[in-house]
């Protein structure tokens, strides 16, 4: 009896937990900072966009003493889009539960 009425709340909690888990990269920063082949996509996004780290394997033409080139803006935005796609694919399926929950709480009986 309680579970069917709490379907909207369960959907919201599930979505928030999934987004939080998808966006977590702190453990990678602590335990695997040098193993770039095992980085999750969110940590790659942090490296490219926030820290301005370069592409792995790319080397500048020698003007900056062998430092890697900074990732171009197009690559940064491509990584941003790739990290958003899974959440954007799940959200429309959860939208009906959000709407139901709002309507259930707003209707006076």
What is the predicted pLDDT for the residue at 62?
47
| Integer angstrom CA distances of residue 27 from 23, 39, 78, 102 | 11, 10, 24, 35
What is the predicted pLDDT for the residue at 55?
57
3-state secondary structure of 72: coil
The residues facing 70 across adjacent strands are: 54
If pLDDT is split at 50, 70 and 90, which confidence band does 59 have? Answer: low
If pLDDT is split at 50, 70 and 90, which confidence band does 30 have? Answer: confident
The residues facing 54 across adjacent strands are: 70
pTM attached to this predicted model = 0.55
Q: How far is CA 96 from the centre of its chain?
A: 22
């Amino acid at each position: 009896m309680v579970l069917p009425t709490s379907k909207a709340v369960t959907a919201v909690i599930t979505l928030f937990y999934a987004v939080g888990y998808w966006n977590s990269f702190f453990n990678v920063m602590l335990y695997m900072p040098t193993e770039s082949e095992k980085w999750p996509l969110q940590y790659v996004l942090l490296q490219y966009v926030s820290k301005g780290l370069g592409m792995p394997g790319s080397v500048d033409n020698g003007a900056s003493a062998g430092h890697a080139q900074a990732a171009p803006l197009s690559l940064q935005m491509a990584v941003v889009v790739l990290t958003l796609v899974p959440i954007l694919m799940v959200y429309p399926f959860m939208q009906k539960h959000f709407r139901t929950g709002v309507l259930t709480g707003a209707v006076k009986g």
